[in-house]
A and B are shown apart, each in its own frame.
Chain A
Amino acid sequence: MNNETILQVQGLMTEFRTERGIVNAVNDVSFSLERGKTLGIVGESGSGKSVTNLSILKLIQYPPGRITAGQVIFKGENMFERSEEEIRTVRGKHISMIFQDPLTSLNPVIKVWYQIAEALRLHHGMRKKEAKAKSIDLLKLIGIPDAEQRADNYPHQFSGGMRQRVMIAMALSCDPEILIADEPTTALDVTIQAQILELIKNLSREKSTSVIMITHDLGVVADMCDSVCVMYAGRIVERAAIDDLFYDPQHPYTRGLLDSIPRIDRAGGSRLHTISGAPPNLIDIPPGCPFQPRCEKAMNICSKQSPPEFIINGDASRTAACWLHAKEYNNG
Chain B
Amino acid sequence: MADKDILLDVQDLSVHFPIEKGILFKRKVGAIRAVDGVSFIVRRGEALGLVGESGCGKSTTAMAIAQLQTVTAGHIFFEGKDLAAMSPEELRRERMNFQIVFQDPYSSLNPRMRAGDLIAEPLRIYARRGIITLSEDEIRKKAASLMDRCGLSSSFADRYPHEFSGGQRQRIGIARALALGPKLILADEPVSALDVSIQSQILNLLKDLQDEFDLTFLFIAHDLAVVEYFCSRIAVMYLGHIVETADAAVLYRQPMHPYSRALLSAVPLPDPRRERKRRRIILQGDVPSPSAARSGCPFADRCPEVMDRCRLEAPQLQMVDEEHEVACFLYASPSGFAL
Q: With A198-B282, A271-B204 in contact, is A260–B269 under 8 Å at CB?
A: no
Please encode chain A, from 158 to 195, with 1 for each CB lying within 8 Å of some chain B CB and 0 for all others. Answer: 01011000000000000000000000000001111111
Q: Find residues 191-217 in chain B having any chain A CB closer than 8 Å to their own CB.
A: 195-201, 203-204, 207
Indicate whether B230 reaches chain A with its CB closer than 8 angstroms. Answer: yes
Give the docked Cα–Cα distance between A272 and B191 (Å).
Answer: 14
Contact A260 B196 (CB under 8 A): yes
Q: Can you name the residue of chain B whose Cβ is closest to the Cβ of A189?
A: B53
Please encode chain B, from 48 to 79, with 1 for each CB lying within 8 Å of some chain A CB and 0 for all others. Answer: 00000110000000000000000000000000
- When distances are taken between beta carbons in the complex, the residues of chain A under 8 Å from B54 are 189
Chain B interface residue count, CB cutoff 8 Å, equals 46
The 9 closest A-B pairs by CB, nearest first: A219-B268, A262-B229, A189-B53, A260-B200, A194-B266, A218-B270, A272-B200, A44-B195, A268-B229
Give the docked Cα–Cα distance between A44 and B193 (Å).
Answer: 12
Q: Could you tell me the distance in whole angstroms from the C-beta of A47 to the nearest C-beta in chain B? A: 9
Interchain Cβ contacts under 8 Å between A and B, 11 examples: A217-B268, A222-B270, A222-B271, A223-B268, A246-B270, A260-B196, A263-B271, A264-B252, A269-B229, A274-B197, A278-B198
Q: Is the interface of B mostly helix, strand, loop or mixed?
A: helix
Indicate whether A288 reaches chain B with its CB closer than 8 angstroms. Answer: no
User: A residues engaging B (CB < 8 A)?
Assistant: 44-45, 145, 159, 161-162, 189-195, 197-198, 216-223, 242-243, 246-247, 256-258, 260-265, 267-269, 271-276, 278-279
Give the docked Cα–Cα distance between A219 and B278 (Å).
Answer: 13
- When distances are taken between beta carbons in the complex, the residues of chain B under 8 Å from A279 are 195, 197
Q: Can you name the residue of chain B whose Cβ is closest to the Cβ of A42?
A: B196
Best-buried of B168, B197, B228, B269 by chain A (most CB within 10 Å)? B197
- When distances are taken between beta carbons in the complex, the residues of chain A under 8 Å from B249 are 267-268
Q: Could you tell me the distance in whole angstroms from the C-beta of A209 to the nearest C-beta in chain B? A: 20
Q: Could you tell me the distance in whole angstroms from the C-beta of A306 to the nearest C-beta in chain B? A: 20
Contact of A159 among B167, B229, B286 (CB under 8 A): B286
Q: With A257-B196, A272-B204, A274-B197 in contact, is A264–B269 under 8 Å at CB?
A: yes
- When distances are taken between beta carbons in the complex, the residues of chain A under 8 Å from B265 are 194
Starting from the known contacts A260-B196, A269-B229, 7 additional A-B residue pairs (CB-CB under 8 Å) come to: A216-B195, A219-B270, A222-B268, A243-B273, A261-B270, A274-B201, A276-B201
Contact A45 B195 (CB under 8 A): yes
Q: Can you name the residue of chain A whose Cβ is closest to the Cβ of B278?
A: A223
- When distances are taken between beta carbons in the complex, the residues of chain A under 8 Å from B204 are 271-272, 274
- When distances are taken between beta carbons in the complex, the residues of chain B under 8 Å from A274 are 197, 200-201, 204
Give the docked Cα–Cα distance between A216 and B270 (Å).
Answer: 11
Q: Could you tell me the distance in whole angstroms from the C-beta of A215 to the nearest C-beta in chain B? A: 10
